[in-house]
Homo-oligomer: A and B are copies of this chain.
Amino acid sequence: MSPASANLTIRGRNANWTTNYPLDFLRNAAYAPVGMLLTPKKLQRRTAKLRDPEGTRQSLLQAAFREVYRYGFQSAGIDAILAATNVTKGALYYHFESKEALGHAIIEEIIAEITKDRWLRPLQQSKDKNPIDALIGIVQAIPARPRDVKRGCPLVNLTQEMSQLDEQFRKRLERIFQAWQEGIATALRKGQYTGTVRRDLVPEETASFLIAMVEGYEVLAKNAQDAKVWNLGIKNIVSWLSSLRAPGNGKRG
Show the binding face of A for B, using Cβ within 8 Å.
70-72, 74-75, 150-152, 156-157, 159-161, 163-165, 170, 173-174, 177, 205, 208-209, 211-217, 219-220, 222-225, 229, 232-233, 236, 240
Contacts and interface: CB of A to CB of B under 8 A. Distances in A.
B160 A160 contact: yes
Given A152-B160, A156-B219, A219-B215, A165 B71 contact: yes
Given A152-B160, A212-B217, A72 B74 contact: yes
27 contacts: A72-B75, A72-B161, A74-B75, A75-B75, A150-B163, A152-B164, A156-B160, A156-B219, A159-B223, A160-B219, A163-B223, A163-B225, A170-B223, A177-B220, A205-B232, A205-B236, A208-B220, A208-B233, A209-B236, A209-B240, A211-B216, A211-B220, A212-B212, A212-B220, A215-B215, A216-B217, A219-B219
Contacts of A161: 72, 157, 160-161
Contacts of A152: 160, 163-164
Q: Interface centre among A156, A164, A220, A223, by most B CB within 10 Å?
A: A223
Contacts of A163: 150, 152, 222-223, 225
Contacts of A220: 177, 208, 211-212, 215
A164 B219 contact: no
Given A160-B152, A161-B161, A212 B225 contact: no
A223 B162 CA distance: 9
By secondary structure, the A interface counts as helix
A133 B26 CA distance: 77
B151 A164 contact: yes
Given A152-B160, A212-B220, A219-B219, 13 more contacts: A72-B72, A72-B75, A74-B74, A159-B219, A159-B223, A160-B219, A163-B222, A164-B225, A170-B223, A205-B232, A208-B217, A212-B233, A215-B216
A58 B159 CA distance: 30
Contacts of A157: 160-161
